[in-house]
Structure 1
Amino acid sequence: MISRKPIFPGVIELNFQAGEVLGCNLYLIYDQDEWVLIDVGYEETVDDYIQIIRDLDFPLSRCQTLIATHADVDHIQGLAKAKQAFKTTVTAHPNAVEPLQSGDTLKTLALIEAQDLRLEMPPVQVDHLVNDGDVIRVGKLEVEVWHTPGHTDSQLAFRLGDVLFSGDNVYRDGCIGAIDAHHGSDIKAFLRSLRRIRDSDVRWLAPSHGPIFAKDDVMLDKVIERVEGYLHMADFGTLAEDWPLMDQWDAEVAQGILPDGFQLPG
Structure 2
Amino acid sequence: MQVTAHVHCVPVTTPTLFPATTTNVFFVTDGMTAVLIDAGYEHEQVHQDVVTYWKQIGSPRVEAILLTHFHRDHTPGAKYFAKFFDCPIVAHPVEVPYVEEEISPARVTQTLVEGDVWKIGEVELQVLHAPGHTHGCLNFWLPEDGVLFTADNVVGLGTTWIGPPEGDLTAYLATLRRLKTFGAAWIAPGHGEMISDVEEKIDFFIGRRLEREEQVVRLLDEQARTVDELVEAVYGDTVHPSVMWVAVRTIQGHVLKLAGDGRVKEVDGVYSLIG
TM tier, smaller: 0.7 to 0.9
Equivalent positions of 1:63-212 (< 5 A) are 63-103=62-102, 122-161=104-143, 162-172=146-156, 175-182=158-165, 184-212=166-194
For residue 7 of structure 2, what is the amino acid of its counterpart?
V
* Structure 2 counterpart SS, 1:126: coil
Q: Does 1:14 align with 2:10?
A: yes
In structure 2, what is the Cα distance between the partners aligned to 1:28 and 1:146?
18
RMSD between aligned residues: 2.6
For residue 208 of structure 2, what is the amino acid of its counterpart?
R
* Structure 2 counterpart SS, 1:12: strand
Shift in Å at residue 237 of structure 1? 4.3
Confirm or deny: 8 A CA contact 1:202 1:215 kept in the other structure: no
In structure 2, what is the Cα distance between the partners aligned to 1:196 and 1:215?
16
In structure 2, what is the Cα distance between the partners aligned to 1:237 and 1:22?
24
Equivalent positions of 1:18-57 (< 5 A) are 23-44=22-43, 45-57=46-58
* Structure 2 counterpart SS, 1:75: coil
Shift in Å at residue 99 of structure 1? 0.9
Confirm or deny: 8 A CA contact 2:132 2:173 kept in the other structure: yes
Structure 2 match to 1:247: 272
* Structure 1 counterpart SS, 2:24: coil
Cα distance change, pair 22–31 in 1 and its aligned pair in 2 (3 A): farther
**Count of residue correspondences:** 221
Q: What TM-score does the superposition give when structure 1 sets the normalisation length?
A: 0.74
In structure 1, what is the Cα distance between the partners aligned to 2:159 and 2:105?
27
Structure 1 match to 2:225: none
Cα distance change, pair 57–152 in 1 and its aligned pair in 2 (3 A): same
Shift in Å at residue 22 of structure 1? 8.1
In structure 1, what is the Cα distance between the partners aligned to 2:72 and 2:128?
21
Structure 1: 5+ residue stretches without partners = 104-120, 252-266
Shift in Å at residue 68 of structure 1? 0.4
Shift in Å at residue 128 of structure 1? 1.3
Shift in Å at residue 25 of structure 1? 0.6
In structure 2, what is the Cα distance between the partners aligned to 1:70 and 1:164?
16
Confirm or deny: 8 A CA contact 2:184 2:198 kept in the other structure: no
| % identical equivalent positions | 27
Structure 2: 5+ residue stretches without partners = 13-19, 217-229, 232-249, 265-269
